[in-house]
Amino acid sequence: MNSCLAVPIDVNALVSTNEGTLEFEKEKLRFDVDASRADELVVQSLTGTALVDGKKLVKGKRQKIHAGSKIKVADEEFVVYRNAHAHA
């Protein structure tokens, strides 16, 4: 089953307002930007029930994710998209 959120999750806003934590379907995920590479996103499962690209996230372990990665929580699947800003 594929899902599409009505509004995309703004991870930057999530990190700054909620310590990067997103909780739903009995899973708690924490997102952060990799300090060594600002273009890489890191996800951490605080309960250990989510899948990334078909592989279970180990509780507490941080994992880099990229554009195109699929995060599955319960029956919901989300795709990571790259947010690009154009500057004139």
Please tell me the pTM assigned to this model.
0.73
Percentage of the chain with pLDDT > 70?
Answer: 73
Residue 85, pLDDT score: 44
6 assigned to some structural domain: no
Residue 88 lies inside a defined structural domain of this protein: no
Q: Is residue 4 part of a domain?
A: no
Q: Specify if 31 maps to a domain.
A: yes
Confirm if 20 and 14 have CB atoms less than 8 A apart.
yes
- Domain presence at residue 26: yes
Domain that holds residue 70: 11-79
Instruction: Please check whether residue 85 lies inside any domain of the structure.
Output: no
Encode pLDDT of 29-66 as tens digits: 998 876 676 667 889 999 999 999 999 999 999 998 88
Q: What is the 3-state secondary structure (H, E, C) of the chain?
A: CCCCCCCCCCHHHHHHHHCCEEEECCEEEEEEECCCCCCCEEEEECCCCCEECCEECCCCCEEEECCCCEEEECCEEEECCCCCCCCC
Count of domains in the chain? 1
**Residue 1 counted as domain residue:** no
The residue with greater pLDDT, 58 or 82, is 58
